[in-house]
Amino acid sequence: MTEKMLEVDDLTCRFDGVTAIADLSFDVSVGEIKAVIGPNGAGKSTLFNVIAGVTRASSGQVRFDGERIDQLPTFRRARRGIARTFQNLQIFREMSVLENVMVGRHTHGATGLMQAIVHGPTLQAEEHAIASAAMDLLNRFGLAGKADAQAGTLSFGELKMLELARALACEPRLLLLDEPVAGLPRAEADQMSEIISGLNREGMTVLLVEHNMRMVMSLSHDILVLNNGYRIAEGTADEVRRNREVLAAYLGEVEDA
């Protein structure tokens, strides 16, 4: 039996009278790419925010690698190995491209305040290591030429790459990708898709939210379909594609063929 990287148990999320997620249970196996889809308002963003730690669930559990994480603040989940990208990009726009990725290496550094102030050999060595690791990532994503540019000057597509590079700098075991290709033209979306696929081949577990059906169907091993906070289908691309309820949710009532 494959190990479960992420387990969600009976998750319910209620705000101000609206139930965004209702008794949802599912899991993500190690090494798989799982997509969460559903029409607008289905609860996908809320689910993501709960797993990432930005929102608290009303009840239920989230377990990462067997350990409960639903009571932990976001940064502790990141330190356990969950990295996340944002739909609306939360890049450090005033910092340079290189610095953005260097900050991603934060949790892999060990120097403290005193060492920072004294600036001895340990700190210098760490700085070299961080800059070099960051540069490697930039090379991999084709952003090395812009290492020095202010992040805010990059194009939207480049920023999406940058955020992914930054997330990878944390050396996560699970990637939470929030609409990774939203807003990207076809060629760049395909490129992003290729990268995610490549990362997965190297062993990265991925949970993503997406509207782009083409990408979802071709990339994911498993798809979870939400509507109005409930799970309405779960399975492979083929299974989901043919599911009546899924079609009904997206298109309204389906006529009998």
Partner 1 sequence: MQISAVVLQLLVAGIGTGSIYALIALGFNVVFKSTGAMNFAQGEWVVMGGMISAALFASASSVGLACLLAVILVAIFGLLSERLVIWPLRRPTALMITLVSIGLAICTRSFVMLTLGKKPVGYPGFSGEATVSLGGATFQAQTLWVVGLTLAFLVVMHFFFERTMLGKALRAAAADREAAAIVGVKVETTILISFGIAAFAGALAGAIITPLTLASYDQGAMFGFKGFSAAMLGGIGSLPGAVVGGLVLGLLEVFGSFYISSDFKDAIAFAILLLILFVRPSGLLGRPDIVKV
Partner 2 sequence: MVSASPVSGTHVAPSAARESLRMQPRSRFATWRSSDHVRLVLIWLVLLAVPFAAPNAYVVSLANLALINLILIASLNLLMGFGGQISLGQAGFFGLGAYASGILNVKWGVGAWLGLPAAALIAGAAAFVIGVPTLRLRGHYLSMATLGWNAILVVFFNQFVSLTGGPNGLLGVKPFAFFGIALDTEPRAFPVVWLASLLVMLTILNLLHSRIGRALRAVATNELGADAIGINSFGIKLLCFTLSAAMAGIAGSLYVHVNQYASPDTFGISVSILLIVMVALGGSGTYWGPCLGALIYTAVPQLLLNYEDAELMLFGLGMLVVLIVFPGGLAGVPDALRRRFAPGWSR
Window 146-185: residues binding partner 2 (CB under 8 A): 147-150, 161, 166-171
Amino acid symbol at 178: D
By CB under 8 A, tell whether 75 contacts partner 2. yes
CB of 68 to partner 1, least distance (A): 22
Strands 82-85 and 174-178: parallel
Residue with token string 């079609």: 247
List of residues 6+ apart from 136 with CB closer than 8 A: none
Judged by CB under 8 A, the stretch of 23-31, 33-41, 75-83, 223-231 that binds partner 2 is 75-83
By CB under 8 A, tell whether 88 contacts partner 1. yes
If one counts every other C-beta atom within 10 angstroms of the C-beta of residue 187, the result is 9
- β-sheet bridge partners, residue 67: 64
Judged by CB under 8 A, the stretch of 81-89, 158-166, 182-190, 240-248 that binds partner 1 is 81-89
**Which tokens belong to 74?**
């976001």
CB of 6 to partner 2, least distance (A): 16
By CB under 8 A, tell whether 91 contacts partner 2. yes
d(CA 3, CA 29): 6
By CB under 8 A, tell whether 205 contacts partner 1. no
By CB under 8 A, tell whether 195 contacts partner 2. yes
In this structure, is the dihedral angle defined by the CA atoms of residues 186, 205, 126 and 119, taken in order, positive or negative?
positive
By CB under 8 A, tell whether 93 contacts partner 2. yes
- Which of 73/248 has CB closer to partner 2? 73
